[in-house]
Structures are given as C-alpha cells and as structure tokens.
Chain A
Amino acid sequence: MRARMTPAVLIFGGLIIFWVAFTPVVIVPTYVIPDDPSETWDARTELEQRGREVYIAEGCTYCHSQYIRPQDWGIGADRLAKAGDYHQDAPHLLGSQRTGPDLSQEGGQHTNDWHLAHFMNPRSVRPDSIMPRFEYLGEEDIGALTAYMQSLGGVEADLRMAYQYKVRDDVIAAYEAGPDENIQYLHEQVPPGWRPLPNPYPATDASLSRGEKVYQSFCIGCHGPVGDGMGQASEWLYPPALNFTTIRRNLWEDKYIGGILYYYIMNGVTGSAMPYFKHELESEKIWDVSNYVAKYFIDWDDSNMEPVGVHSARETPGEGENSPPAREVISE
C-alpha cells in the first residue's frame, strides 16, 4: 500500500513536524539559559550604546567576531567567552567571520587617538589592513564608535582604560617637555636591566631585511618611511609617534638602545597610541626590527657590543661591519 499524501496530511503534518522540532531546540533554551550577567559584564553608557548602533549599521559584525573560542590561544585568549558577557545584548553581535581581529576584549587595548586614526584610514596604523575607511561617518559617530570599542570587555576593559588614562598625562607631559626630555622619560620607564642591553642579534643583511619587512607591516604608518614620526597617522595622533632620529644623542650610557627598543615594541608605550606587539611578533622579529630602526633611523647599531656571551649556533662569523661579534672571539 502506498502512503498517500493528501492536502490535510501535508499541511497538518507540516505544522506538527515543525513545532515538534522547533520547540526543544529554540523555545526550551530560551527559558532554560540563565539570564545572569558575568563577573565582567558592565552596563553600557548612552554614548557606548550609540556607538553600538553605528557598529550595527556599518555591518562591522560581518568581519569582527566578539567571542574568544577555546582554540584561540594564539590571539591571546586571556579569557574565554561566557554567556553572561552578552547579558541584555539585542541583537547579539557574536559574528560569524573573523576577517578582522576579534573585538570582544578590545576595550583599553588602544588609545582613543589610535582608534581615530584607524577609523579615518585603517592603513595609517595597520598597513596590511583591508578594513574600509570610515571618514564618512563624521567626528560624532567615530567618537561614539570609539567609546563602544573601549567598552568591549566590560569591567576588565574599564580597568585597562583607567590604566591608560593614569599614565597618559605623564606621557603627554614628557612629549611636551621636548624631544630629549621625552626620550629620557621613556628610558626611565624601562626596567633597569633592559637598558644596558645591546641587541643580541647581529645586524646582518638578512636580519635587516626581515626587520624592514616587519617595519613596513607594523610601524611605517605612524613612524613614517624615514622614521621621523611623520607617518600617515601622525595628523590624528597626540602625542605623535616618536622621531627616531632624536635618539642618536640620547643613547643609554651613550651606547645602548637595543634592549630599550625591544621593550617598547613588546609592551607598547601605555598611554600613547603605540600599541604592544607581543601577541603578534615573535622574539626574533622584534630584535630584527629593532636592528632595522637602530641601523637606518638612529644610525647607531649596538648589536656588536659587549656583553656578548656565548652565541647561538645559528650565528656564524663573517666579514664586514654587520658580521656577528663572535668573529673576534674565534680569531683569538
């Protein structure tokens, strides 16, 4: 006997099967998922909410996720997403693509002037970015969007922001005191052990080439093609990026700069637009770009200086000014 499909079977069967399937997977979760805020959840201010509306209108959610997954250790998964982080969010903005970075913990990672430069021209601070320019939004909406960015991460974002603001006055004061005073101030913020530290990587041609590549992808937007701090982003940043050429007369103990450069590339200059790069650049890349900056912009390369210690098996002695310092040790 053939099972007959009559209009009644089709319509009532269709209705029944839909509701039987729909109820357990959509209706039930709606009532059983607790609606409690997480320990970092924070209510949004009016401005932050306005920024969220701009974020929605511009479709930011199609390229930026807002949750850290268990496998995201590489982007610095300090905190995995919890349901309570999204308390009262309507609509949710979890996102389905990560063409750009995750933003769930963006608050306080960058300063407001960095965000301004980034929204006006993303490539001015992130040369490899493919994000659209948002200059058309105008000052007010960019301000709101920035406030929203700085709120992402809740209570932890607020703490990061508070820390940025705490240091910011000092950073600005140092910049306004003059170039030499500024560098002295920056030197003093570096832990003493890092200051008399030469770059342990020889500034070979290979190292300098790698450094150039890193500089072009990470630094050139603000510090500029000649390292004078007049990159594309400079018109939006305050204080502007450091002019490297002024370091030449302010070397630590008149000779060291490698360790200080490394420290600032790793950690950023908190309170200024200079971000930290320790999640994005491995140790060797930071030393290489330090060599590049030292060699071409400061015109002072400390990578052959004492203390040298025992070199890694990677460095072989050679001829020329950039050859590894091990050369002298071996020739003795």
Chain B
Amino acid sequence: MSAEKRVDLEEKLDRELDRDLQSDGPPPYSAAKGFIVSGAIWLIVGTTWGFIGALEYVAPDLIQNVSWLSFGRVRTAHLNIVAFGFLTATLIGVALYCIPALLRTKLFSERLGVATMWAWNAAVLVGAVTVSMGYTQAREYAELEWPIDVAVLLAFVLILYNMIMTVVFRREKNLYVSVWYFVGAILWTSMVYPLGNVMWHPKTGSMTGTVDAIWLWFYGHNVIGLLFTPLAVGAAYYVIPRVARAPLYSHTLSIIGFWTLGLIYTHIGTHHLMQAPVPLWLKVIAGIDSFLMLIPVFTVLVNLWMTARGHWVNFFGTAAGKFVFAGTIWYAVVCIQGAFHSLNFVQRVTHFNNWVVGHAHIAVFGFAGMIAIGAAYHILPKVCGRKIWSPPLANLQYWLIFLGLWGMFIALTIGGLVQGNSWLNGESVYRVLPQLTMYSALRVMFAIMIIAGALVGAYNILMTVSRGERIEAA
C-alpha cells in the first residue's frame, strides 16, 4: 500500500471514528461483550444439560417419558450448546476485541458485529430447542437442521467479512500471530461448516454409506481442529505475553505452528474410523498425521511456555492467567493422548467407550474452554471499561472447574478402560454396565462442581459488565 493511500485511509478511519462517537450506534466492543456474556450464560445451560445426561447414566428411571429430556436428545443439546453457545461464542467475542486492539483500529462494523451476535444466539437457541424436539440429522457436531445451518454459516461469513475488513483498515502494519489464528479459524470454518454439514443435501445433510462417515469425521474433527483450536490458540497467543509481561519467544515457531495446523489437522478425521470398513490408506494417513499433529501443537506450546518462562509468578496472581495457562497444559495432555489413541493397538481398548468421552471433555472444555474463560476475564476490563467485579470469585471458579474437570476426566478414563478391557476380554456390553456405575456416579459429582463454576463465572461476568468499578480513561 502506498504512503498516500495509507494516509487517506487513516483519515477516513478518523472521520468514521468521529462519526461513530457522535452517532447512536453501538459503542466499541459491544459485539465482543455480547458474545462473552451470552457465552457465560450458555455455559450454565450447557453444563446443566450435561449433568442431566450424566445423571441418566446412573438413574435411568429418574426422568421417565419426558421426550425432550431423553438421553439421546439431552446429549445432542448439551454438545451443541457447549460447543457453539458457550465455546465458539466466547472465543469469537475474544477475537472481536483482540483483532482491532492488535491492529490499533476499531472493528470494521460494530453494528454488524452486534447483529451477528444476536443472530448467533438465536441460531443456538433454535438449534437447542429443535434437537430437543427430535429434529436432528444425527451426525455428531452436525446435528442442526438445514435452516439453522444456513444461519450459522451466514454468521460465520459475516464475522469473516468483519474481521477481514478490520484487517484491511488497520493502522498497525504487522499482523500479530493471534490475528492469523482468528482469521484462519473463521476462514476455514466458513468452508468446513457447509462441507461437513453437506449443505447441498438439505434433507439429510449427509452423503451416503461409509463415505458419509468419512465426511462427518472430517467435519467433527475439524470443528475442534480448525475452529476451536485456532481461536483458542490465538487467544492464548494474545493473553500469555501480556500476563507474562514478556515479548513472544519466537516468530519462526509461530509461522510453523500456524501453517502445519491447517495442513495436518485437516487430514486426521478418519482416525475416528480405525476399525470401520473404510480404505486402509485413509487410516494410514490419519494415523501418521495424528502423530504429526504434535508439530503444530508443540511449536505453539513451546513458544508460549518459553514466553512465560521466568515470569511464572505473574500467572499465579490472576485468574485469567491461571485459566489460560491451565488451558495450555490441557492442550498438551489432549494432543498426546489423541496421537496415541489413534494407534490401532491402543484404540482396540479405548474406542467406543467413556475414554473417548473424557478425551472430548478435556479438548473442548479443558483446552479451548479454559482458554476462552481466561481470555474473557483478561479482556473484559478493556471491553466494558470496568474492573472485574470479584477476582476471588474468578479464582473460585477456576478451582471449581479445574478440579471438577480433572475429576471427570479421570473417572471417565478409568470407566472407559474398564469397558474397553472387559470387551476385549470377551464380556458383553450389557454385563459391563454394572461395573460402570461407580464411575458414572463420580462423573455426576464432578459435573456439579463444573456447573457451580459456570454459575459463579456467569454471575461474576454479569456483575462486571453491569456494576464493576469504572476504570478512568487514561
């Protein structure tokens, strides 16, 4: 861009800023605030639905003949609410703050951002209600029916447009690594979502036969890989140097981590089908690339941990720092676990049982969810111009979720090993069920801790945005 053109742009931007301040449009960061607050509320609903499902494992006759609370529907609603209502929304909120902040500009259109936020929440609400009514396509993570898919896709495209235009009208020349990840996440998801939901087949939302399984697990894995992961990694790249008060360790590692993520994650969906009748060469690619995933994961983690090295004390003083740092630890755990249970001889035990449920919980909540909550706490004072209502409550929330999730992960993992080893030993599925009761009961107890954490968090965030002590403008 030539120098004159740049000056022109800056002038244009200044004019717009002035106009915005005079107009009655939404104040800066309204969209980010909306996404974060609604995400915190959805987390209560999502974890409560998870709790109901967990309870039904232990007491299947507690809720009888209430169709919308039947396990198959509760599980679907739980998954979609947590994945899209809480996690994606919170991380998008974080991104919509970080991108303009990093580029020393404002969001291209705050009005569009706020409209997208409402559309997004409407889609999640309608999605949760419809799957509870039994309107589902029964493809994991792709359950929502076609009209809701259209709304979700539209929201992603609008967010992408808003992000790219913000990048175009930036004042900071260099794009910081978080910006790559945020834009990359939404760019990739704008393709992954319609492809994975097979949106050109509106009625079934699916391909046919085993080919459909390949498409679905490409999608199911890349909701994690190309949506949650890059959004959360982008947020961690933003928060960790700031909390550490240290510059980012390595630009080269950032570059390697970003491009290998897009290349490798896209390949590994078929590791969900290792024992299914799909071509062997696909399983080989998925298996090998599951190990190659350690490259994008550990370049990021080494980069972040080396940045934090020597500054640990800064992390333990804030709930935000702790949340994000714990998230990076979970990221390491979940990805090492993921690589190893893609091996056929490990998977013959861990496949089809609670081990996988434990793995999914630490991926979505332990890694991406913890980072989302931490990043939200970190940016919230800037977003709403108020101090966090209660740092001790944020600290309490951290411990409730941290311990609750570890406990749940361990209970599910042991339960899964009991199931997998019993089956491998020739026991029928039915006969293993009584052995599972204890671990299912433990899961219910730990779920209560997590719900408590969600309640404390939502209360704290709502109080912060409405009654937090105002920060004087510098």
On A, residues with C-beta under 8 Å from B are: 2-3, 5-7, 10-11, 13-15, 17-18, 20-22, 24-26, 29-30, 32-33, 35, 55-63, 65, 67, 69-75, 80-83, 85-102, 122-123, 126, 128-137, 217, 279-280
Contacts and interface: CB of A to CB of B under 8 A. Distances in A.
Interface string B105-146: 000000000000000000000000000001111111000000
A7 B72 contact: no
Contact of A7 (B75, B168, B214): B168
Task: Across the A-B interface, give the 6 residue pairs with the lowest CB-CB distance, nearest first.
Answer: A59-B72, A74-B426, A91-B206, A21-B266, A69-B275, A57-B134
B56 A91 contact: no
Nearest to B64: A133
Contacts of A70: 275
A86 B419 CA distance: 27
A221 B55 CA distance: 23
A94 B276 contact: yes
A62 B72 contact: yes
8 contacts: A25-B269, A57-B135, A72-B423, A87-B208, A92-B210, A94-B213, A97-B353, A123-B60
A29 B266 contact: no
A71 B345 CA distance: 10
A95 B272 CA distance: 10
A69 B424 CA distance: 11
B21 to A, nearest CB: 27
Interface in B424-457: 424-431, 433-434
Interface residues of B, number: 92
A12 to B, nearest CB: 10
B60 A58 contact: no
B218 A26 contact: yes
Contacts of B272: 96
Given A26-B195, A63-B72, A71-B275, 7 more contacts: A14-B262, A21-B267, A57-B138, A70-B275, A92-B210, A132-B60, A136-B65
Nearest to B259: A17
Interface of B: 56-58, 60-61, 63-67, 70-73, 75-76, 134-140, 164, 167-168, 174-175, 177, 179-180, 183-184, 187-188, 191, 195, 201, 204-216, 218, 226, 251-252, 255, 259, 262-264, 266-267, 269-270, 272-273, 275-279, 282, 285-286, 348, 351-353, 356-357, 419, 423-431, 433-434
B138 A56 contact: yes
B211 A128 contact: no
A93 B352 contact: no
Contact of B279 (A33, A96, A123, A132): A33
B213 A57 contact: no
Given A69-B275, A101-B429, A126-B430, A89 B208 contact: yes
B352 A71 contact: no
Contact of A130 (B60, B135, B183, B188): B60
Contacts of A67: 275-277
A48 B135 CA distance: 19
Contact of B430 (A55, A96, A128, A137): A128
A88 B209 contact: yes
A59 B262 contact: no
A206 to B, nearest CB: 20
A58 B255 contact: no
B285 A101 contact: no
A26 B195 CA distance: 10
Given A26-B214, A74-B428, A61 B138 contact: yes
Contacts of A29: 211, 214, 278-279, 282
Contact of B191 (A18, A24, A57): A18
A26 B192 CA distance: 12
A81 B267 contact: no
A65 B276 CA distance: 11
A1 to B, nearest CB: 11
Given A29-B278, A96-B272, A132-B60, A5 B266 contact: no
A92 B218 contact: no
Nearest to B277: A83
Contacts of A22: 191, 195, 218, 266
Contacts of A60: 72
A108 to B, nearest CB: 18
Nearest to B210: A83
A86 B209 contact: yes
Candidate in A61, A67, A96 with the most chain B CB atoms within 10 angstroms? A96
Contact of B255 (A3, A74, A126): A3
B263 A17 contact: yes
